[in-house]
Structure formats: structure tokens, C-alpha cells
């Protein structure tokens, strides 16, 4: 009988991945993110807000106004991680929010001030910069910085122009190639995106964001072995990964029939006490059921429903759970 119930749980996973591949059809027209510091401390001019969602959908950063509010427009509905950036600012909570398809929505993220010389902060920031980039001449860096400002405005063609100018001056900038790949992907040019991301990795084989971005493209192509390899490499390079990356890795492992690895990836998120780990419970439940470990599969579905108790996906999970429980009672 093994495999019959997994089909029901896999249907849930398939729905999730279809949403990832096609993107949500609904958007919130205006999203306002309020940055709240302890003791009602004010923001400064360097404070920006960044949004990253499922599959790493990254929106251009937005500066805050005098009321510590950043605005985004036509944001696809879904779950996002909000990151506060600035010379002396960082997140004080997980920053994870759910965005609904409304005409306007306002969310709040807690922030705190830090010592700008904090070594831990410097290490985290350096994860997104290749050592090779530090050798770039000032005229190339100016072009790369202009490109970043244009990316913030979603001015993709102009950003590409600046990146190409900078790379013509200094062709060894690995992070610039990663940005180039991300821009091409935003513009729907996945072929050139792959070329740029592979160049980034060739220049710096420890640049984790390039592996993540290339892994996402493989995932969208349903090249699960490729996605598993790339995302596995990325999560091994990053000291801190997020639940979205681990979900993609676990799903790719499951699709490759690497069941123990998929379960291990889910447990990794458990051990790190990641917020919004719910989708990883579905992967683990499917893997356990396929191994005929019905009790473990039931436990994972119960954990999933505890974290995500409402919604159409939750109702389907309850149906799968009821079937598994009835199956477990059969002598």
C-alpha cells in the first residue's frame, strides 16, 4: 500500500512548486513596510528595506521615508523575508511576513541599532562580496554602484548597461556577474542568466548567492539533480541559510529519490529553529511515507498543521493526515 498516501501529500507539494514556477497571479498594489526601532528611535538616511520571497524572488531595495516607512509596488502575494539594512541598523526579529493580494497592505518589522564595527556583522556582509571584487579599480566600482542604484529602481536595461561598462573595465568581478544573472532572470532571459551565473562561479567558486540563483533556475526547469547539487553546494558555503533555500533543496532531494537526505534537510531546519518551516514538513512527511514510516509521516503532517493551520493547502493536508491515521489503525 506504500505510495498511495504519498500521492496525496505529493499533490500538495506539486501545488507549492507550481506556484513557485509560475509565480502568483495576484499582487498587492502598494506594500508599506514600517521599520520600528526600540524606544521609538528614528531611522537615518542610510536605512533601506529589502524583500526576498519564495524561490528568492528579490525586489529592489527601497529607502525609508521620514516616518521609517518603505514602499513597494505591485508585489506578488506570498511569504517574504524583510531585511533592514543601514550603517547602524539590522533586524531585531525574523522579518518574515505574509503578503496578501490587496490594493494596499502595511506590515511592520522590528529593528535595532548595532555597533558598525561588530565583527559578526562584517563577516555576514562579506558573504555577498567576492574577494576578487576588492581588487576592482575605482572607475569600475562606480559603474557597479550605479548599477545597484538602477536595480533599486527596477531599471533593468540601464542597470545592465552599467554592469557591462564596469565589467569591461574589470572583467573579474564575480559579484557583478551574479547581479548580471539576476537581472537577466528578472527580464526573462534565462539563457544569458545561466551564462552570467556560471561565469560568477568560475571566477569565485565560493560565491554562495551564484549557486543559489543557478540552482533556482535548475529547479524551474525541473532539473532536480542539478538543483540538488547547486543548492547543496550553496547551503554548505553559507553559515546561515533560510527556509526557502532548504525547502528547494529538500524537494529536489525528494524528487531524486534521496529520501534520507530530504528528511535530513528538513531536520536541519528544525535544529536551526527556523520560522515558517511548514513546507519542509510536507517534504519530510512524503519521504517518510514512501519509506513506509507511517508514524513519522503522521507526526510531520501534524507539525505542518500546527504551523499552518488554515488555508486550502491545510485542508488537503488534514485529508491526507486522516487517511494515514486510518491506515495506521488497520491491524
Query: 3: left (phi > 0), else alpha (psi -120 to 50), else beta?
Result: left
Most confident of 36-40, 52-56, 209-213: 209-213
Return the minimum-mean-pLDDT range out of 27-31, 121-125, 174-178, 263-267.
121-125
pLDDT at 20: 46
Round the average pLDDT of the chain to a whole number and report it.
77
Q: Which long-range contacts (CB under 8 A, 24 or more apart) does 132-137 make?
A: 132/172, 132/173, 132/174, 132/203, 132/204, 133/173, 133/174, 133/175, 133/176, 135/170, 135/172, 136/166, 136/169, 136/170, 136/172, 136/173, 137/169, 137/170
Going by their DSSP bridges, the two strands 104-113 and 27-37 should be labelled as: parallel
> Which residues, other chains included, contact 52 with Cβ-Cβ below 8 Å and sequence gap of 6+?
58, 59, 80, 81, 83, 242, 244
- Tell me the pLDDT band of 116, cut-offs 50, 70 and 90: very low
pLDDT at 22: 42
Return the minimum-mean-pLDDT range out of 64-78, 101-115, 125-139.
125-139
Cell of 17: 512548486
Distance CA 317, CA 302 (A): 9
Instruction: Please say if the pLDDT value at position 124 is more than 50.
Output: no
Handedness of CA 278, 250, 27, 196 (dihedral sign): positive
Instruction: Please say if the pLDDT value at position 70 is more than 80.
Output: yes
Distance CA 119, CA 138 (A): 25
Please give the share of the chain, as a percent, with pLDDT higher than 90. 20
pLDDT at 93: 64
8 Å CB contact between 27 and 75:
yes
Instruction: Please say if the pLDDT value at position 98 is more than 80.
Output: no
Return the minimum-mean-pLDDT range out of 41-45, 106-110, 225-229.
41-45
pLDDT at 118: 33
Residue 184 DSSP code: H
Residue 133 DSSP code: G
Q: Where are the alpha helices (DSSP H) in 238-330?
A: 243-255, 259-271, 278-290, 294-307, 312-329
Going by their DSSP bridges, the two strands 96-99 and 78-85 should be labelled as: antiparallel
8 Å CB contact between 106 and 34:
yes
Q: Cell numbers 519521504 label which residue?
A: 287
Closest CA to 40 of 108, 107, 106: 108
Q: Per residue in 226-244, pLDDT tens? A: 999 999 998 888 766 677 7
Query: 70: left (phi > 0), else alpha (psi -120 to 50), else beta?
Result: beta
Residue count (the chain): 331
Q: What is the pTM of this model?
A: 0.64
Amino acid at each position: 500500500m506504500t505510495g498511495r498516501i504519498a500521492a496525496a501529500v505529493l499533490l500538495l507539494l506539486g501545488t507549492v512548486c507550481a506556484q513557485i514556477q509560475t509565480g502568483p497571479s495576484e499582487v498587492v498594489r502598494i506594500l508599506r513596510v514600517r521599520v520600528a526601532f526600540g524606544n521609538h528611535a528614528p531611522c537615518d538616511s542610510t536605512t533601506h528595506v529589502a524583500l526576498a520571497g519564495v524561490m528568492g524572488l528579490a525586489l529592489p531595495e527601497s529607502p525609508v521615508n521620514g516616518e521609517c516607512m518603505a514602499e513597494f509596488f505591485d508585489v506578488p502575494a506570498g511569504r517574504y523575508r524583510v531585511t533592514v539594512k543601514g550603517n547602524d541598523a539590522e533586524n531585531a526579529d525574523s522579518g518574515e511576513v505574509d503578503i496578501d493580494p490587496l490594493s494596499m497592505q502595511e506590515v511592520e518589522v522590528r529593528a535595532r541599532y548595532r555597533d558598525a564595527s561588530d565583527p559578526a556583522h562584517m563577516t555576514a556582509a562579506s558573504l555577498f562580496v567576492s574577494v576578487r571584487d576588492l581588487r576592482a579599480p575605482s572607475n569600475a566600482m562606480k559603474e557597479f554602484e550605479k548599477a545597484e542604484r538602477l536595480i533599486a529602481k527596477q531599471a533593468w536595461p540601464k542597470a545592465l548597461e552599467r554592469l557591462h561598462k564596469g565589467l569591461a573595465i574589470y572583467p573579474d568581478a564575480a559579484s557583478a556577474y551574479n547581479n548580471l544573472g539576476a537581472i537577466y532572470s528578472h527580464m526573462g532571459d534565462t539563457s544569458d542568466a545561466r551564462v552570467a551565473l556560471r561565469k560568477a562561479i568560475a571566477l569565485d567558486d565560493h560565491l554562495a548567492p551564484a549557486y543559489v540563483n543557478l540552482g533556482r533556475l535548475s529547479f524551474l526547469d525541473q532539473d532536480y539533480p542539478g538543483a540538488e547539487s547547486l543548492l547543496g553546494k550553496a547551503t554548505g558555503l553559507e553559515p546561515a541559510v533560510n527556509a526557502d533555500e532548504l525547502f528547494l533543496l529538500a524537494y529536489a532531494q525528494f524528487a531524486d529519490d534521496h529520501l534520507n537526505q530530504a528528511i535530513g534537510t528538513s531536520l536541519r531546519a528544525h535544529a536551526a529553529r527556523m520560522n515558517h518551516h511548514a513546507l519542509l514538513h510536507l517534504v519530510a512527511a512524503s519521504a517518510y511515507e514512501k519509506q513506509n514510516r507511517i508514524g513519522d509521516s503522521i507526526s510531520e503532517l501534524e507539525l505542518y498543521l500546527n504551523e499552518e493551520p488554515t488555508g486550502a493547502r491545510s485542508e488537503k493536508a488534514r485529508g491526507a493526515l486522516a487517511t494515514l491515521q486510518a491506515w495506521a489503525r488497520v491491524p
